[in-house]
Amino acid sequence: MTKTSSTSPMGDSLLEGLIEPAPAAAPAKAARPRRSFKLPEPLRDRRVQAGIAAALLAAGSIGGYFALRAVPQPDYAAAPMDDVLDYTLLTDDFNALPVDKRLDLIAALLKRLQSMSSEDSVAMAMFASMIDSDKMREQLMKNASLIAIDKWDQYARDYQSVPDGDRGAYLDKAFLEFAKLGETLTGQPVNKTDDELLKDGRDQAKRDKDRLLSGEGPTGGQMARMAGMLRNGMGKNSNPQQQMRGQQLMRDMTRHLRGN
């Protein structure tokens, strides 16, 4: 008896039709030939290459110079007012000048302000409107206070080499010059003779001494607040050596004015 083979309706395998045959491998791409980069003929000359390198080096040096160079001092009589104010009040380049040079520039600025043009007035108003950040205010206070600090330190340094017999005359001279410093910084004349200024200083020193002896002087809390203002205000812009010299000069000047 001959067996009749039966054929499954799904074919010879139950997985037939469920597993797709693997795709034929794609033919390998032909390797792309590497191109060697060649400089254009005019740039192959070593002398040209050296010239280009020198130009790049010079360009880098010039860029570094303009990035790091000091801000140039403007012409206080003719430069735009905002440039003058910015240099004077908001840059450390102004602070790097000798203190007497700074005082000369302040005097030149005040002279210009006294005959200010309408253009200068507008520039000054715009400059003032920009000073609204803590950083700019701090720089402005620093530049203003450093003039007084550096001028006082100039007297204090010179005072250290003055012979004992000449110190009284030197203290009078330093007192008078510092008293007149306000005239330079504000543009307001003192309108007093040297003798009158010295008398005012001696009278004030005597009043202060009498108040301390009578117990009417500042309280401990007031002295602490005053010390804090000096330390955190003008004091923070001076170094320890300046503070030490300045305190010695102030002590001796106070004693001198009191007649001690």
pLDDT per position as a tens digit, 153-170:
999 999 999 999 999 999
How much of the chain exceeds pLDDT 70, in percent?
A: 63
Name every residue whose Cβ is closer than 8 Å to that of residue 1 and which is 6 or more positions away in sequence.
none
Given pLDDT bands bounded at 50, 70 and 90, which one contains residue 102? very high
129 versus 206: which is more confidently predicted?
206
Contact status, residue 136 vs residue 162, Cβ threshold 8 Å: no
pLDDT of res. 141: 79
46: number of Cβ within 10 Å: 7
- For residue 149, is pLDDT > 60? yes
Asked which of 91-105, 137-151, 244-258 is least confident by mean pLDDT, the reply is 137-151
pLDDT of residue 166: 96
Q: What pLDDT sits at residue 128?
A: 78
Res 161: pLDDT? 95
What whole-number distance in Å separates Cα of residue 125 and Cα of residue 102?
Answer: 23
The pTM of the full predicted model, rounded to 2 decimals, is 0.60
Q: CA-to-CA distance for 240 and 137, rounded, in angstroms?
A: 24
Assess whether pLDDT exceeds 50 at residue 104. Answer: yes
Give per-residue pLDDT as tens, 56-97: 444 443 344 333 446 689 999 999 998 998 899 888 899 999
Q: 132 vs 69, which has greater pLDDT? A: 132
pLDDT value at position 116? 84
pLDDT of residue 217: 59
- Average of pLDDT values for 193-198? 93
| Per-residue pLDDT reduced to its tens digit, 21-46 | 545 555 555 555 555 445 455 545 55
pLDDT tens figures, 220-240: 555 555 455 455 555 677 888
Nearest CA to 174 among 191, 190, 196, 157? 157
pLDDT at position 182 is: 75
Confidence band (pLDDT; 50, 70, 90) for 139?
confident
Nearest to 238 by CA among 227, 250, 246, 226: 246
